Structure 1
Amino acid sequence: MRDVLGRPDGLGALRVVSLAHVHDPALTPLFPGDPEFTLTTAATIERDGYYLQRVSRGEHTGTHWGAPGHFEPGGALADELCPADLFLPAVRIDVRAAVAADQDYQVSTADLVAFERRHGRIPAGAAVIAWTGWSDRWGTAAYPNLDGQGRMHQPGFSPDAARWLIGTGRLGRRGALGSDTFGPDPGLDASFAVSRELFHEHRISLENLTNLQDLPAAGAWVLAGGAVNRAGSGSAATVFGLIPRQPCAGGRRIRTVRHQDGRRHR
């Protein structure tokens, strides 16, 4: 297969997957205090000759990305980023087992070092995505997971891990922290310490992701779409994983193992 420029392979060398939930008010959990999410019919084919919905929600409802100005005073806002800030090499850190044992688990520097020992160095300016398994709770009260005092219990990155990624250049002027939870911060941290570390320079967050089983541990890219609002703090989005047909991790081809029940695991 050749691309539009006549080069071999082109898009045929990539598998494209969606890492985003469908934006649906009936299922989309809201972060405590966020605006209500509504979809209402504004026009119908029978009445108006075309179909149209009116959307009302916060910029950070559902699957979305956050711009530096979401937390950083004077930080770049959505319309001050460039497309390259939203197109990043991706690594997926599998912490599902740890989260199953501790719903408040924090991805540690040791987790990142262990990942690199197996898959190679995290690329500079990468999107480092925590695969916690939390997206299985989507559409239920177990997703925000509030306790009797209204405190939220979700896994996230530890501040030390975020500082290590930034200090070593793995999160450079560009890069991202991503998760299949409300965001990179542990749910119990009302100070948002990890976000405050992240949103210097042009780094972004990727939040409420799903389908992370389709993303290899390394060797893929992520591309965040969505509307770019004037002076926006981010955007509800479809986030795509762009995966080479034969992805490599740390220079090694990722082996696919088929389980007895038919599931495949990388």
Structure 2
Amino acid sequence: MTNAGKFLALATCTAAIACSAALLAFREDKKEPFPFKNIADLTHTLNKDFPYIPTPVTYPFSMKAIATIEGFGVAANEWRIHEHIGTQIDAANHFIKGGMSAEKFDIKDLVVPVAVIDISARAAKDRDTELTVDDILQWEKVNGPLPENAGVFMYSGWDKKIHSPDFLGLDSSNTLHFPGISKAAATFLVAKRNIAGVGVDVVSFDPGRDRSYQSHRIILGANKWALECLANLGSIPPAGCFAFIGAPKVEGATGGLTRVIAVW
């Protein structure tokens, strides 16, 4: 090797070592390339047994193969699904005539700070309990004001009942029983706080026995989103989280199956 070649090799080696050292220092300074230490899936797995509000037009999820590896060299399934089953989002047009549909959600409203308000102790004693304005104010007393453009999530512990008839709480008079967001709390959130939407770990964010869906009309009437059938809310902190909401971008949709992930 010529002297010039030796110099080039030495210079290349020195530069590589310097770059490696700089990279290691950067990674050490940043600790990890991902800026969050924790991540949680707030989504239930959908299958044929997933509960839904029984009405004359709703039905269970089903899936069948329309192509197989053996027959076509590729596998594909057909789903039979309605928009409001599984962990899912409601858009305004679900209840409001002419309201905004799901594909029109602003993406800034789908990556939001989260406030988890825990009513699980009360819900364990009273399945018809409601999230109240006082619950919100008590959360703020401990954690500070609700973040701007927040997702306000009610944690009742109901996600643990997902495979039990108690999840719906249907009684002999066909009345549903599960916790929800009170009319007063819904009004407070849209009138007094700047929220992106609400979320619950029950099948509907109105209390089960409320057949008039008052909180739906208030929240959705303000063009806020609502998430239902969330999972694992008990595993994330009450404040300091962000949620990534994978809402369906389907023209005219009133909502639909949604993947929700929390990081902190």
User: Displacement, 1:160?
Assistant: 0.6
Name 2:248's counterpart in structure 1. 227
Q: 1:16 aligns with which of 18, 33, 39?
A: 39
Structure 1 portions without partners, runs of 5+: 244-266
Name 1:107's counterpart in structure 2. 131
Residues 1:66 and 1:10: Cα distance change in structure 2 (over 3 Å):
farther
User: Displacement, 1:211?
Assistant: 0.8
Counterpart Cα distance in 2 of 1:99 and 1:86:
28
Q: 2:224 aligns with which of 203, 225, 239?
A: 203
Q: Give the conservation status (yes or no) of the 8 Å contact 1:183–1:205.
A: no
Secondary structure in 1 aligned to 2:226? Answer: strand
Name 2:7's counterpart in structure 1. none
How many residue pairs match? The answer is 235
Name 2:178's counterpart in structure 1. 154
Counterpart Cα distance in 2 of 1:41 and 1:140:
28
Q: 1:80 aligns with which of 73, 97, 104?
A: 104
User: Displacement, 1:82?
Assistant: 2.3
Summarize deviations over 1:39-95 as a string: whole Å, max 9, x none.
Answer: 112211111111211111111110011111111222110122222222221110110
Q: 2:155 aligns with which of 113, 119, 131?
A: 131
Secondary structure in 2 aligned to 1:39? Answer: strand
2:65 aligned with 1:32: no
Counterpart Cα distance in 2 of 1:84 and 1:56:
31
Residues 1:10 and 1:203: Cα distance change in structure 2 (over 3 Å):
farther
- RMSD, aligned CA: 1.8
Q: Give the conservation status (yes or no) of the 8 Å contact 1:81–1:202.
A: no
Counterpart Cα distance in 2 of 1:226 and 1:108:
27
2:187 aligned with 1:163: yes
2:81 aligned with 1:57: yes
Name 1:257's counterpart in structure 2. none
Residues 1:37 and 1:13: Cα distance change in structure 2 (over 3 Å):
closer
Secondary structure in 2 aligned to 1:223? Answer: strand
Counterpart Cα distance in 2 of 1:198 and 1:235:
17
Q: Give the conservation status (yes or no) of the 8 Å contact 2:102–2:247.
A: no
User: Displacement, 1:14?
Assistant: 4.4
> What does 1:226-245 align with in structure 2 at a 5 Å threshold?
226-243=247-264
* Bigger CA radius of gyration: 2
Name 2:205's counterpart in structure 1. 184
Scaled by the length of structure 2, what TM-score is found?
Answer: 0.84
Scaled by the length of structure 1, what TM-score is found?
Answer: 0.84
Name 2:4's counterpart in structure 1. none
Structure having the larger proportion of residues in helix: 2
Structure 2 portions without partners, runs of 5+: 1-22
Counterpart Cα distance in 2 of 1:80 and 1:119:
32
